Each structure stands twice: as C-alpha cells, then as structure tokens.
C-alpha cells in the first residue's frame, strides 16, 4: 500500500499544474471536481498519463465558463454526454458532469442523466479499478468499491452486480476482455458468468463501438487473455465468429493442437516481430495474424489416407476477412491491407525450399505492394513447428528471400515496379487513343518486366511493336 501511495503522489505532483489549478477554480465556484477513472488507476500502477479525465458537479455550461481563459483550446463534441474537452499545454483534459447512464433494452445509445454525487458517479462506472477518484484540490482518494484491493489482486470486478452493469451498457462485457488484455488482469468469476449469460445483449451495440473495443484489445500487451475470454464466454461468437470456429479444426500437419491455438501463437509471434515495423502495436499486422487461417473451416477435406487438407483457405479466408471487417465498419484501407496479407500468407511456401527466380521475387513484391514488410512478419510468425531443424530451415530460407528482395530492390526499384514504357509512350508508339488496348499493352509490358527485369526503352519499343503485330 505504501508503494501505491508513493506512486500516486509522484503522478499527482507531475500533473499538479493542471489538477491543482482546476481544483481551485471549481472549488471557488462552489463545485466539486475530481480526477477519475483510468488516470487514477494508472497512477496507482506507476503509469504516466497526459490524457486526464475529471468529473464534476458542475453542468457543462458552467465547466466551459470556469476553464475559459485557462485552457488553450476547448471543444464540446461530448456535450450531449455532459463532457467538455480542453487542452492546456501538453495536457488533454476531459471534464464530465456527474452522471448516470442506462440503456433502453432495445437502444444502441445511452440515456444520459446527471447525477448529484461523486460516489454515485463512481458507482455507474464499469469496474472497481476504474471507480476510484482523487478529489481536488485536497487530493483525497475516494474508493467506495474496493478498487485499490482489486488492483492489488489484479482482478476485474464491477462496482455493483455485473448483471446490472452489463444491462446498463453491454459494451462493458467487451471492455472486460479489453482490460484483461491491457492490464494482464484476471476476471472475477461472477463477471465471467454474467458475460456468458448475457452475451446476446451485445447485439444492441453499434458496429463502430464494437470495432473500437476490438482494436484496443488486439493492440494491448496481452491480447491472448482478452481473446480467450471472448471465446470462452460466447461473446466472440457474436462479434468475431471466425475466431471460435477455428477451435474445431486440426491444422494441416495434424499436430495435437487446433487451428485456434495455432492462431493465437501466430499472433503472439507477430507481436514479437513488430520491431521490424518500427515498434509499437501495429493493428493491421496483428489482425492479419488473427485472421490468416479463418478460411480453414470452410475448406477442410479429409483424404482417404486420413490426412486433412485446407486447399485455397488463403483465398477463402481473405474474402471472409473482408466481409467481417466491412461489417465492423473498418476503413477501406485497413480492409484492403489485412485482406491482402491473409490472401498472401502462403505465397512463400509455394516456392518449395527456396528456388526463387528473379521473376518470382518481383511478383512477390509486386503482389504485396506496400504491405511487404508486414507480409515478412506474418510469414515468419506463421511458423509454429516444434521441430527445431525445420523451423531453422524455414527461417534461413526466408532470410535468403529477403536478401534477394533487397538486392533486386536496389538494382531495379522494386517498390515502384512499372513497365519500361509508360502509357503516353505506348499510345504514341502504337498510334492509339486512351482506352482498353492501351491497358492491355501496359499489362503485357509489365509482365515482361516481371519475367526478365528492366530493359532499355529501345528494346521495349521493338518488343512491343512485335507483340502488337501478332495481334
């Protein structure tokens, strides 16, 4: 407990220039104000925050008046929920009026009702570790639901009954999985039981809110914990059904593990390789790892000799990935990037033990496009064999492929592969207007470029004229 108090004091001193002044302003106006939620929790965990959440007895219009002249900028996009945002130097601050919000059983949106006490406001929050506050300016800790104890035990509980909490806001069930992944905490058995019993209730939550929680979970330090909880409670069946479906399948090597476990291992191994992408959580890379084998259930076939095949599961999986991401309202760029990686994740294995021609290397880079670095990560992460000799051989073979790509890239600018003649040159040489035939000539030249590398423009013109004459 002494360590917790020391951590909180250190963090409050760091953010004193914000919280002390706000505390004085609101107190002088006769209002209560307190630092609340994640910043308090993370202060106790020794984590620094520059995004600060506060709660107050003041209504939004009064909050705006009190921060005028103090804040460098203000915004009120959250006014409907009682929230006024502002910036002061490097600090981002959100100040929300005490509230209690509940869901109509058939509504996607909360009904916001203002509350009249800090304890009442804390009681409507999702978990006890997020239901702690520091009153300002006096810095007294308010912990009516035992959040400090739960933080010490690393467990997630709800302030009231989980059934009431999840009925008020079903998204909290996903938040339980997300916090488990972010904090590495276990979930109280009562919370898990309520999530299982109420999984169907998640259907009233908008796709965008579900998507945002999944992104945070997958980008967390321990995504396996959160994903496992979603599968075990049945929530994954409602929001990402392709994941639990994998638990029914054996992988193509017929090991004593299913494709679901293989997938979680690939996800973890891709995280270990993220430094190749510049470090930090990379959602596209992680989600591609999670979805790379989702086509297996639909492509499984049992052969007469007892083996199992999953032919074309890469192509089928890419289509399934695209459909799921569209349903979750991901951006077109994200959908295209993840789907392409899923479709290409077996390409490396299609070239035997490394007999790659220059033409094959060029096509590999061309098809991967701007996702080539992520494809390197996914392909390496997809090796989960326990056979050390085989794993080493695959690693060495992929090292050689990357070296080949680097050599050709330096010599031929592989990251911008295009024909030796552009569209204007093609039209001038063949006397064509813009149209389909120009596109055909362009693609023919590009295939020639792939097959044998770059040539001088004179050679390309002669070859194009000869090809055109045969048509």
- DSSP H/E element including 141: strand 141-142
Cβ neighbour number for residue 315 with a 10 Å cutoff: 14
CA dist 36 and 410 (Å) reads 53
Distances in Å between the Cα of 248 and the Cα atoms of 261, 298, 321 are 11, 11, 18
Beta-carbon contacts of residue 138 (< 8 Å; ≥ 6 apart): 23
Phi and psi, residue 99, nearest 5°: -150, 165
- Cα radius of gyration (the chain): 28
CA of 223: how far to CAs of 27, 85, 86, 265, 346, in Å? 42, 30, 32, 11, 24
Task: Assess whether pLDDT exceeds 70 at residue 412.
Answer: no
- CA 444 distance to own-chain centroid: 39
Residue written as token pair 């392409």: 340
Q: In what order do the strands lie in the sheet with 51-56?
A: 73-75, 83-88, 91-97, 51-56, 33-36, 133-136, 141-142
What are the tens digits of pLDDT across the range 366-387?
A: 889 889 999 999 999 998 888 8
What confidence tier does 105 reach under pLDDT thresholds 50, 70, 90?
A: low
Helices (H) and strands (E) in the chain — how many of each?
24, 13
Residue spans of beta strands (DSSP E) within 64-130: 73-75, 83-88, 91-97, 99-103, 110-114
What's the mean pLDDT when you consider all of the chain?
A: 89
Q: Per mean pLDDT, which of 44-53, 111-120, 325-334 is the most reliable?
A: 325-334
Pairing of strands 155-156, 186-187: parallel
Region 237-246: mean pLDDT is: 96
Per-residue confidence at 279, pLDDT binned at 50, 70, 90? confident
* CA 106 from centroid of its chain's CA atoms: 28
Domains recognised in the chain with CATH numbers: 2-152 (3.30.460.10), 154-240 (1.10.110.30), 244-416 (1.10.3210), 423-470 (no CATH)
- For the ranges 231-240, 242-251, 350-359, the lowest mean pLDDT is seen at 350-359
Pick the closest to residue 131 from 119, 149, 139, 140 (CA basis).
119
Question: pTM to 2 decimals?
Answer: 0.85
Quick: pLDDT tens for 307-323.
888 889 999 999 999 99
Model confidence at 190, pLDDT cuts 50, 70, 90, reads very high
Q: Which pLDDT value is given to residue 140?
A: 95
The token duo for 117 is 């006490």
| Confidence tier at 193 by pLDDT (50, 70, 90) | very high
The token pair at 148 is: 């400090």
Confidence of residue 50 (pLDDT cuts 50, 70, 90): confident
* Cβ-count burial 210-237 (b if 16+ within 10 Å, e if not): bbbbbbbbbbbebbbbbbbbbbebbbbb
pLDDT band at 295 (very low <50, low <70, confident <90, very high): very high
Sign of the torsion angle spanned by Cα atoms 334, 338, 343, 348: positive
Q: What are the tens digits of pLDDT across the range 118-139?
A: 999 999 999 999 999 999 999 9
Are the beta carbons of 26 and 58 closer than 8 angstroms? yes
Q: State percent of the chain over pLDDT 90.
A: 61
| Nearest CA among 186, 97, 385, 169 for reference residue 266 | 385
- Of 327 and 389, which is predicted with more confidence? 327
* pLDDT number for residue 256: 40
């Amino acid at each position: 407990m002494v360590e917790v108090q020391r951590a909180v004091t250190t963090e409050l001193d760091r953010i004193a220039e914000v919280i002390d002044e706000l505390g004085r302003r609101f107190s002088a106006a006769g209002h209560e104000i307190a630092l609340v939620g994640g910043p308090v929790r993370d202060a106790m965990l020794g984590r620094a925050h520059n995004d600060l959440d506060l709660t107050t007895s003041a209504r939004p219009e009064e909050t705006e008046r009190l921060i005028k002249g103090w804040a460098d900028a203000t915004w009120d996009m959250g006014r409907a929920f009682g929230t006024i945002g502002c910036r002061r130097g490097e600090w981002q601050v959100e100040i929300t009026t005490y509230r209690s919000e509940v869901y109509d059983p058939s509504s996607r949106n909360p009904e916001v009702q203002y509350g009249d006490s800090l304890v009442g406001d804390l009681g409507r929050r999702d978990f006890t570790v997020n239901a702690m506050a520091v009153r300002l300016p006096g810095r007294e800790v308010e912990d009516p639901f035992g959040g400090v104890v739960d933080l010490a035990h690393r467990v997630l509980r709800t302030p009231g009954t989980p059934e009431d909490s999840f009925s008020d806001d079903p998204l909290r069930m996903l938040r339980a999985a997300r916090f488990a992944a972010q904090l590495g905490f276990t979930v109280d058995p009562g919370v898990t039981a309520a999530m299982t019993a109420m999984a169907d209730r998640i259907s009233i939550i908008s796709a965008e809110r579900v998507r945002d929680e999944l992104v945070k979970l997958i980008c967390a330090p321990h995504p396996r914990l959160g994903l496992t909880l979603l599968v075990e409670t049945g929530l994954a069946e409602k929001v990402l059904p392709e994941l639990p479906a994998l638990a029914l399948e054996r992988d193509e090597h017929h090991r004593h593990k299913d494709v679901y476990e293989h997938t979680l291992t690939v996800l973890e191994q891709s995280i270990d390789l993220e430094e190749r992408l510049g470090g930090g959580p990379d959602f596209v890379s992680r989600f591609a790892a999670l979805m790379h084998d989702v086509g297996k259930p639909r492509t499984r076939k049992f052969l007469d000799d007892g083996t199992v095949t999953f032919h074309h599961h890469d192509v089928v999986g890419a289509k399934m990935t695209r459909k799921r991401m569209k349903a979750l309202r991901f951006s077109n760029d994200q959908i295209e990037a993840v789907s392409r990686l899923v479709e290409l994740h077996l390409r490396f294995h299609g070239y035997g033990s490394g007999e790659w021609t220059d033409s094959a290397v060029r096509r590999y880079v061309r098809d991967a496009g701007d996702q080539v670095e992520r494809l390197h990560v996914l392909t390496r992460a997809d090796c989960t064999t326990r056979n050390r000799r085989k794993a080493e051989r695959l690693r060495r073979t992929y090292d050689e492929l990357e070296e080949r790509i680097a050599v050709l890239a330096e010599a031929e600018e592989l990251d911008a592969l295009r024909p030796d003649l552009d569209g204007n040159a093609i039209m001038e040489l063949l006397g064509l207007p813009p149209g389909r035939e120009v596109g055909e000539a362009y693609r023919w030249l590009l295939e020639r470029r792939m097959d044998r590398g770059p040539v001088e423009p004179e050679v390309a013109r002669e070859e194009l004229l000869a090809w055109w004459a045969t048509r």
